[in-house]
């Protein structure tokens, strides 16, 4: 079943002319899809076949494993597509990986709200990640198509990223999983039992198939990832050369590798997220930088602006070189993390949410 869902969206690329894809053709997309399916299958059936509470050491190991896998693929990209493609892949990967920190906090809140035991959280995140990969593919294909067909979309994406970055810097919104629209809708349509039944999403009660609270958690995780994709996909579009033959492929693969390591990152960091109290400022600066870069790249190729201000609208190369974008992203995130560790504030941690002991819905409430 996972293989079917992963391959179906890729069939849309089969009709694309080979010239449009340059060195990237359908076979490369299919091979990458097969690789993702194999890794996810091994993860579920071999590496984490039995539900258990992952230790800090185990989470650190898997975080390093997925990161090493991404860096190995980055080396392959360098050999195959060249230095610029490799630097853009690494920049996109780091941007998505950094933005995933917000997912970690939200996941902790969601699991705490629904009182999901630690040993069952990995299975929810597995299926959540699978859905995220499919949705990101749709977002990437849509976003790249819009940029290639309508150049005016670039400054719109850039302005949106700047707005999101400023909002992230000054906003401090509380996350309320119970206020999720999809969750409210499903509770009205699908019968839901009031009690957990291990790691199962559906059970039979009185001969009827009903959903468990764990299924509701999965829906909330999936819906929140859609919201995160609205920020992260445009951010990666802004650091990869839209005129390059590898544009779509690098955007998608860098995104997916960051998502694949999200589960291990969650179990590694969810309990200590409060330590990184300045991280939101670093993420905000990254979004503002990428948004400004997108607007500047678009403006550079507008003849009416070039005639007014005296530059060449048909100039080749990057306004901001890929290596410089990478250094800026690393510098902004690294500075925010270093500042957080150097000037720790008062924090209570999210350990309770991670263990599923946070404030949740009333046990006696109606979940149907």
106 by DSSP, 3-state: which? helix
As a whole number of angstroms, the distance between CA 243 and CA 43 comes to: 36
Q: Is there a domain that residue 245 lies in? A: yes
Q: Is there a domain that residue 243 lies in? A: yes
Domain that residue 328 falls in: 54-344
CA distances from 218 to 141, 177, 200, 221 (A): 24, 11, 11, 5
Q: The whole model's pTM is what?
A: 0.77
Of 290 and 197, the structure prediction assigns the larger pLDDT to 290
Q: Mention every residue, 6+ apart, whose C-beta is less than 8 A from residue 266.
A: 103, 104, 107, 108, 121, 125
Q: How confident is the model at residue 34 (pLDDT cuts 50, 70, 90)?
A: very high
Q: Is there a domain that residue 5 lies in? A: no
Q: Is there a domain that residue 361 lies in? A: no
Number of neighbouring beta carbons within 10 Å of residue 39: 14
Q: Is there a domain that residue 321 lies in? A: yes
Residue 364 token pair:
């006696």
317 by DSSP, 3-state: which? coil
Residue 251 token pair:
């955007």
Average pLDDT, the chain: 77
Number of structural domains (the chain) is 1
Asked whether 300 and 116 are in contact (CB, 8 A), the reply is no
As a whole number of angstroms, the distance between CA 107 and CA 174 comes to: 13
pLDDT, residue 164, reads 84
As a whole number of angstroms, the distance between CA 290 and CA 98 comes to: 13
pLDDT, residue 194, reads 73
298, 258, 280: which is closest to 345 by C-alpha? Answer: 280
Does pLDDT of 12 surpass 50?
Answer: no
Q: How confident is the model at residue 358 (pLDDT cuts 50, 70, 90)?
A: very low
Best mean pLDDT range from 72-81, 225-234, 268-277, 354-363: 72-81
List the alpha helices (DSSP H) in the chain: 2-7, 18-21, 26-42, 56-81, 83-113, 118-149, 153-170, 181-189, 213-237, 247-260, 262-269, 279-300, 303-309, 322-342, 351-354
pLDDT, residue 303, reads 63
Q: Is there a domain that residue 22 lies in? A: no
Q: How confident is the model at residue 310 (pLDDT cuts 50, 70, 90)?
A: low
DSSP type of residue 365: S
Of 9 and 190, the structure prediction assigns the larger pLDDT to 190
pLDDT in tens, 315-350: 555 677 888 888 998 899 889 889 988 887 665 444
Q: Is there a domain that residue 19 lies in? A: no
DSSP type of residue 204: E
Number of neighbouring beta carbons within 10 Å of residue 232: 27
Does pLDDT of 25 surpass 60?
Answer: yes
Q: Is there a domain that residue 24 lies in? A: no
């Amino acid at each position: 079943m996972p293989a079917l869902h992963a391959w179906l969206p890729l069939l849309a690329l089969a009709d694309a002319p080979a010239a449009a894809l340059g060195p990237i053709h359908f076979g490369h997309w299919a091979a990458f899809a097969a690789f993702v399916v194999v890794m996810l299958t091994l993860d579920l059936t071999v590496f984490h076949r039995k539900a258990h509470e992952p230790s800090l050491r185990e989470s650190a190991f898997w975080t390093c494993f997925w990161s090493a896998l991404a860096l190995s693929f980055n080396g392959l990209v360098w050999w195959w597509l060249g230095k610029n493609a490799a630097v853009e892949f690494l920049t996109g990967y780091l941007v998505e990986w950094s933005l995933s920190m917000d997912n970690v906090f939200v996941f902790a809140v969601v699991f705490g709200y629904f009182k999901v035991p630690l040993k069952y959280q990995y299975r929810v995140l597995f299926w959540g990640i699978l859905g995220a990969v499919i949705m990101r593919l749709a977002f990437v294909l849509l976003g790249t198509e819009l940029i290639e067909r309508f150049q005016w979309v670039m400054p719109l994406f850039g302005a949106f990223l700047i707005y999101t970055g400023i909002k992230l810097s000054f906003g401090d919104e509380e996350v309320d999983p119970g206020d999720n629209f999809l969750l409210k809708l499903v509770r009205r349509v699908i019968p839901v039992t009031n009690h957990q039944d291990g790691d199962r999403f559906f059970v039979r009660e009185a001969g009827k198939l009903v959903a468990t609270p764990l299924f509701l958690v999965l829906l909330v995780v999936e819906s929140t990832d859609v919201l995160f994709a609205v920020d992260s996909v445009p951010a990666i579009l802004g650091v990869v050369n839209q005129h390059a033959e590898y544009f779509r492929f690098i955007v998608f693969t860098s995104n997916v590798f960051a998502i694949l390591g999200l589960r291990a990152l969650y179990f590694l960091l969810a309990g200590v997220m409060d330590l990184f109290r300045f991280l939101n400022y670093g993420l905000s600066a990254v979004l503002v930088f990428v948004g400004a870069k997108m607007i500047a790249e678009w403006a550079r190729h507008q003849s009416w602006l070039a005639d007014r201000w005296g530059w060449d609208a048909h100039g080749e190369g990057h306004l901001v070189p890929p290596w410089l974008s990478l250094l800026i992203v690393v510098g902004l995130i690294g500075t925010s993390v270093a500042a957080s560790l150097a000037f720790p504030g008062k924090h209570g941690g999210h350990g309770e949410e991670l263990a599923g002991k946070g404030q949740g819905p009333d046990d006696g409430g109606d979940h149907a």
